[in-house]
Every structure is written in structure tokens, then in C-alpha cells.
Amino acid sequence: MAEKEPFVTVVLDCCYSGSIIRHGVTERRGVRGVKYDAAIDAAYPLDLSLARRPTRDIRQLQGWLINPRNDTILAACGPHETSQELLVAHEYRSGPLSPFLLRALKVSDGFLTIQSLYDHLRLKFHVRRPEQNPMCYGRKDVSFFGVLIPGAERKHISALRVGDKIILDAGSAHGICTGDEFAMFPLGPETDNASGVDYEFEVAVNENDEYHILDRRGVAIRSLPAVTSTDASHISKMATILEHLATFKYVEGIENQTPDRTFEQSFTCYLEDSSNNRVDSGQTLSVRHDEPFTLTVINHGSDPTYLTLFDMGPLWQIEDILTGGGEIFKVVAPGQATAHGTDHTGRLDIPLGFEIPEELTMMGYHDCEDAVKVFVTSRASSFVALESSKLPNSATDLTGRSRGRNDYHELSDFLSSLATPNRRPNAELPDEKWITTTFFVRTVKE
């Protein structure tokens, strides 16, 4: 199979199935399917050149899924959780993943990316089986049967109707506020998700008739495509750039205004370089080009903690760091011995590496600064709707508005609505806690 490279989707509807992958940490796992065979590793040696490094400036270093371009794993629960049976049609009992998955595939005719399918399943579990958190590893931009689906790069938020209510797979941590409006679509083909953010910029024209965008300090923002005032479509192109910048700044600024203090104190999170220099949230870590460093999270509580990591890059991209390794989030189980014989240390070390983008080095820059934004939640959650691609180098590659809005004035209305108070969580659902922590990484190429 390794030589023929077929697309393989594995579904595990069983207890502790989230521990199916090997992690690059020294924590012991209690669930493995087949005993280690050295002959297999000898036949297929590890080749790090297979990893698709150029598309992400910051990435998770070596893990088990080196390049999950042809593999996907859907697991019914986390590495520390049991899978509870569900009575199906009053006839037989089954793990919940199987009936949920079959129904979703039937309703969508299979025309659904694995990312969308997983988001739907996770929300279904959240409502029907909140004690379980399904996991997904590997490639997610194809269908369950390995077919590449057009428009898979578009982001959306899953929703589920429960009685007379609609439950969104998002909340204040995602920037959702009371009064926001959404376009609803049936489960099926990917649809565009309009979004905007609240930030102020100043636009000026230099002596070469090129637009410059200044930040709040009045400093020109570098690494933006040059648009001339004589360009026939200069208004549309500048609107695209400004909307992209506004989205970036809004996501960068997301924080819980009323955090749960107990949850806030239940974990420690910091960055550390290869020389053991440590920085905490809000501080800057200086590293050399391609120098490895580590994000460490220690769970002091008695419940699992979930992590989502974003790179807020110098080319104005918002990229999920973990998806490059085939994951959506990390689970930090509490440090304790479990009944089924698995010990959890309560500590997770995530090795990271950063490179100065080639686009910047071609412009003559030898340094850059990124923000590593960490969403820490008490339950599994997907923040895929926050992702955004890099701005192109050339204005000729600006093909239109990045979020598909038809009326430029609607962006202003949307930004105004984000200033309203945060939406309260549904009282009928389990209490969810979240917090964000941001680290800055300055990279220098000598």
C-alpha cells in the first residue's frame, strides 16, 4: 500500500481511539493496534523531505504523520476517553460515530470535505455525546472517499438544529457576538463564509502614485502588493487588501474579556528555544532562521485541555500550525494514572520550527516577526473559520474581495456589529471555558 499510494480513510469507533497516532513525546499510550515490527521501518525509512515545508513558514516538527497527503483517520473519542454505545432506531446498539457518519454521508451524497464532515460530527457529539470528543488526523481537503472537492479552501462554521434552536460550532472565542447574521446552507458542498474585523488603517499615495497603507503608529506596512492610483481596478484591489488586513488584526486581537480564573490557572504555557531561553505569554522569543524551539503546555487541572495553534505570519496569513501535521487540535490530558493502565504526564511539548518566507528574502529582508496565537479550551473545538491565506506579492494576483462580500458598505456594518457584547453560552449545554495566549517570535537570518 505504501508503494501504490492509495487514499486510505480509517474509522475507529471504539474506546481510546484518539491515541492511534504516535506522538513525539515520551508519554506512554495505552492503546496500540499492532506490535512494533522493526522490519517495516527498515523497508520504509523516515524521509523528512516528503514534508510539504514551503507552504507554511512555521510548522510542527517531526511527528508520526510526516506527510498525510493520502491518509485520514477518524476516531470516536480522545486518547483518554471511552466510547459510549448509542441505541440506533430502537433496534441495536452501536458506537455513536458510525451512525452519525453514515447519516452525514447520506445527506451530503458524500460531496463533503473531511474537514467539513469532521466539524459536523464534532458538533453532533457536542450536543448528543458531550463526554466524547472525536479526533481527526491526516488530510482534510478531500472527500471521505478521497475525491478532491473544488472550493475546499473556503471556511465555514458548522450548525446543528436541536428542537427549535440552532447550535453554532463557534462562540465568543471565534469572534461571534450577539446580533451577528449568518447565511445558512444545507450539509453538502462548501460555501463561502463572509467575515470582517474592526481595525483602523490610513491609506496614502507616495510620489510614485502607489498606495501605502499605514498602521496606527503612522508606519508604512511592509510586504504588501503595490497598487498604483492609475490602475483601473485600484479601488477593488485596495478594498481586498484592507479587508484582509482587518481580518488578520481582528483575529490577532481575540481574547476572552471575562475568563474563568480557575481555568486560567489550570495550565502553564510557554515557549523555549534550544538554549533553554524561556518566554511567557506576550513576550518575544528571538531565534535564528530554521532554529527549532518548543511550545510547552502543562495541565495542572483534573480535566483535559485542548489546544489550537495559529501562525499570524509576516505575509498576513493566519495558518493553523497543527494541520500541517495532520491534526486539528492537541489534547493535554491531566497528569494522572487512569483505570485502563495509561499514564498521562499532564505535559505536552510541541516542537516547532520557523523560516523567513522566501517572498521576504527576495525583497531584501533578513528578519521578520510572527505571532503564535494559542487557543486553549476546555472542550474540543475547531477554529478553521479563522484561517486566511497569504496576501499575494503582486497586485495583478489580487483577483477580488477575499471574503466574497457584494457590497463594500456591508463590511463597515459587520465591523460595527463586532463591538456588541459577547454572546452567552447556551445554558443547556456543558459549560465551556476558553482563553487565548499569544507569543511573538522574531526570526533573523544571518
pLDDT in tens, 270-311: 999 989 999 999 999 999 988 899 999 999 999 999 999 999
CA distances from 103 to 107, 260, 428 (A): 6, 37, 25
**Element holding 72 (H helix, E strand):** strand 71-75
pLDDT in tens, 10-38: 999 888 888 876 544 444 444 445 666 77
- Do 251 and 320 form a contact (C-beta atoms < 8 A)? no
Average per-residue pLDDT for the chain = 78
Model pLDDT, residue 280: 94
Note the Cα 201 to chain centre separation in Å.
Answer: 27
b (16+ CB within 10 A) / e for 278-311: ebeeeeebebebebebbbebbbebeebbbbbbbb
Looking at per-residue pLDDT, the higher value among 259 and 422 belongs to 259
pTM of model > 0.85: no
> What CA–CA distance (Å, rounded) separates 361 from 427?
51
Place of cell 457584547: 421
Please provide the CATH number assigned to the domain covering 261-406+428-444. Answer: 2.70.50
Question: Where in the chain are the domains?
Answer: 8-56+63-152, 261-406+428-444
- Do 167 and 160 form a contact (C-beta atoms < 8 A)? yes
